[in-house]
Amino acid sequence: MMKKVAVALVSACLVGGYASAVEPAIAPATGAVPQRIVLLVDEIKAIRNFPVVLAERLGYLNDGRMAVTVMNIRDDVSTADMLTDGRVDAVVAYYHHNVVNQAHGIDTEAVVTLGVTPGAKVLVANQAKEKYKSVADLKGARFIAGGTGSSKSTVANALILAGGHGIGEYIRLGTDGKEKNVDALRDGAADFVVAPTPDGDVYESKGWPRCSRI
Distance of CA 213 to the CA centre of its chain: 25
Q: Do 58 and 140 share a domain, yes or no? A: no
Q: Do 80 and 148 share a domain, yes or no? A: no
Q: Do 145 and 76 share a domain, yes or no? A: no
The residue among 1 and 14 whose pLDDT is bigger is 14
Q: Do 201 and 107 share a domain, yes or no? A: no
Considering the domain boundaries, does residue 210 fall inside one?
A: no
Q: Do 92 and 48 share a domain, yes or no? A: yes
The residue among 113 and 18 whose pLDDT is bigger is 113
pLDDT number for residue 141: 97
Select, from the ranges 24-33, 50-59, 99-108, 157-166, the one with the highest average predicted confidence (pLDDT). 157-166
Considering the domain boundaries, does residue 6 fall inside one?
A: no
Question: How many domains would you assign to the chain?
Answer: 2
The residue among 197 and 74 whose pLDDT is bigger is 197
Domain boundary (114, 129, 158) is at 114
Pairing of strands 109-114, 11-15: antiparallel
Q: Say if residue 29's pLDDT is above 70.
A: no
Q: What are phi and psi of 51, to 5 degrees?
A: -60, -40
The residue among 114 and 156 whose pLDDT is bigger is 156
Q: Do 109 and 164 share a domain, yes or no? A: no
The whole-chain average pLDDT of the chain stands at: 80
**Domain encompassing residue 195:** 120-205
Q: List, edge to edge, every strand of the sheet that includes 11-15.
A: 66-73, 35-42, 90-93, 11-15, 109-114
pLDDT number for residue 116: 55
Q: Do 195 and 148 share a domain, yes or no? A: yes
Residue 69 belongs to domain with CATH number: 3.40.190.10
